[in-house]
């Protein structure tokens, strides 16, 4: 998403962050295979993993889940059901792919990572169009 935001020159207006719902990879860099898939499209993935925190509900206007499991995990942190309107599935914004969830690429080899990058670019493009409209 940051790549597309920068391409449009909107980095001073749109802030993107990424966080997982589990603590497995806190502090880790993006997976080397995902970095390679992104690099093949001219995208450089940077940063380190962090876990989603309840304070993120107030920090961000929109919270995107990659799959239904993450969606449920995020909503469980919204104990008073105040922020559920901010939580959406990433694939809701895809127009070129029929996937309802972003699949786990770790067991699909290079093709799995390429599919996920293509799906995310599609979804992020649709999301950015919607954000710009609003």
Domain locations in the chain as residue ranges: 2-133
Query: How far apart (Å, rounded) are the C-alpha atoms in residues 53 and 86?
Result: 14
pLDDT band at 20 (very low <50, low <70, confident <90, very high): very high
Query: How far apart (Å, rounded) are the C-alpha atoms in residues 25 and 17?
Result: 16
The yes-or-no verdict on residue 107 having pLDDT over 90 is no
Q: What average pLDDT score do residues 81-107 get?
A: 97
Q: Which of 73, 80, 104, 122 is catalytic?
A: 104
- The dotted CATH code for 2-133 is 3.40.50.2300
What is the crossing angle of helices 32-39 and 109-133, to 10°?
A: 60
**What's the confidence (pLDDT) of residue 65?**
98
Does the annotation mark 104 as catalytic?
yes
**What's the confidence (pLDDT) of residue 84?**
97
**What's the confidence (pLDDT) of residue 24?**
84
């Amino acid at each position: 998403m940051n790549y597309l935001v920068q391409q449009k020159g909107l980095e001073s207006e749109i802030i993107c962050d990424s966080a997982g719902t589990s603590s497995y990879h806190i502090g880790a860099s993006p997976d080397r295979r995902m970095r390679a898939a992104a690099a093949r499209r001219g995208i450089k993935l940077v940063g380190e993993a962090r876990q989603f925190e309840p304070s993120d509900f107030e920090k961000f206007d929109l919270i995107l889940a990659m799959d239904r499991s993450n969606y449920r995990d995020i909503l469980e942190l919204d104990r008073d059901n105040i922020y559920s309107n901010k939580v959406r599935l990433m694939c809701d914004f895809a127009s070129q792919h029929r996937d309802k969830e972003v699949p786990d690429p770790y067991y699909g080899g290079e093709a799995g990572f390429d599919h996920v990058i293509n799906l995310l670019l599609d979804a992020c493009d649709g999301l950015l169009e919607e954000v710009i409209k609003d």
